[in-house]
Amino acid sequence: MSYFTDSIEAALRKLEGAYAPNTIRSYHSDASQFVDWCLRAGVTPFPLGEATLIHYLECIQHRHAFTTLRRRTSSIRRVNGLLGHPDIPQAEPYRLAIRRIKRAKPIRTRQARGINRDLLLRAIAAQPDDLVGIRNRALLSIGYDFLARRSELTALRNEDVEFDARGGLRGVIRRSKTDPYGRGRLVFGSERSAKLLRRWLRRKPRDIPWLFCAVNHGTCLNRSVCGRTVSEIVKRAVVRTRGARPREAEISGHSLRVGAAQDLLADGHDIGAIMRAGGWSNMSIAMRYLSLAEHNIWQSR
């Protein structure tokens, strides 16, 4: 196991700087899980064999969506190539196995529930009046206004946001999932976000460059809040407003982005403007976010 783990880590270091860190971590996780399975099954993971990959996918298909299986396949084949081995030929047995798995699995992905404007305001109001709560209020409001992904929120630095003369915010998302080369996109925040951010910045040390830094035991740390923490902030904010835990996958770090896009559609903005605001380059993906716009108001049970 150690031999394959070390080899995978060495191979993935070749991707540093060319791919996003999250992508590299995903490759590492997918390849490591494949290696674990191979060792338990008594087969050699690399060089990758067609029969081995087919058997692996058939063994795990009941636990994962087809999109996950497709991603794992891509990761394993990428690592196999980085290790210097030829790619497996997509012969008839492989194509039939993939088709069989695809037909057996629903391909519609579960959409995170949108946090619409009304729920956002309740979530902001429900935050505690301490250092963490002050940070979280600003993060929730800006995440909604900027239609920001988790990775975009965690990457924001002080110089990326400025207050405008009208009392709002103007910012730039310098790099994103759909903008790996850093062309950037302009984003705008409301007067509400500007007020909440001013309050947070008065408490955050000026020498910390991250707009939303980590907080530990009432102390700001010189590192950005992580993506997992952003998801937890969003989920717990909803729990505070409703007094109960939402069902798994209903609320996620993307819920602010989903709700904001749905509210823009409900307010009469066209799909092109919404795609520009959220940095979508693919119409079908944007429409998946908007597919539940008529139900975007969270109903109390």
Residue 153 has pLDDT above 90, yes or no: yes
| Span of 85-99, 153-167, 202-216 with lowest mean pLDDT | 85-99
Tokens at 189, concatenated: 């925040």
Which one of 3.40.640.10, 1.10.287.990, 1.10.645.10, 1.10.443.10 gives the CATH number of domain 117-295? 1.10.443.10
pLDDT at residue number 55: 93
Tell me, what's the pLDDT at 301?
Answer: 35
- All structural domains of the chain with their residue ranges: 2-104, 117-295
301/100: higher pLDDT = 100
Per-residue pLDDT at 140 exceeds 60: yes
Range of lowest pLDDT (1-15, 28-42, 52-66, 195-209): 1-15
DSSP class of 157: B
Burial label, 241 (beta-carbon count in 10 A; 0-12, 13-18, 19+): buried
Coil vs helix vs strand at 54: helix
Q: Mean pLDDT in the chain? A: 86
* Spatial distance between the Cα atoms of 139 and 136, rounded to a whole number of angstroms: 5
Q: Which two tokens stand for residue 244?
A: 């109960």
Q: CA 229 to CA 235: how far, in whole Å?
A: 10
Q: Of the CATH numbers 1.10.150.130, 2.70.70.10, 3.40.605.10, 1.10.150.530, which one belongs to the domain with range 2-104?
A: 1.10.150.130
Closest CA to 6 of 25, 32, 24, 27: 32
CB atoms within 10 A of CB 122: 16
Cα-to-chain-centroid distance, residue 259: 15
Q: For 70-83, what is each residue's pLDDT tens digit?
A: 899 999 999 999 99
Query: In this predicted model, what pLDDT tens digit does every residue of 190-200 receive, in sequence order?
Result: 999 999 999 99
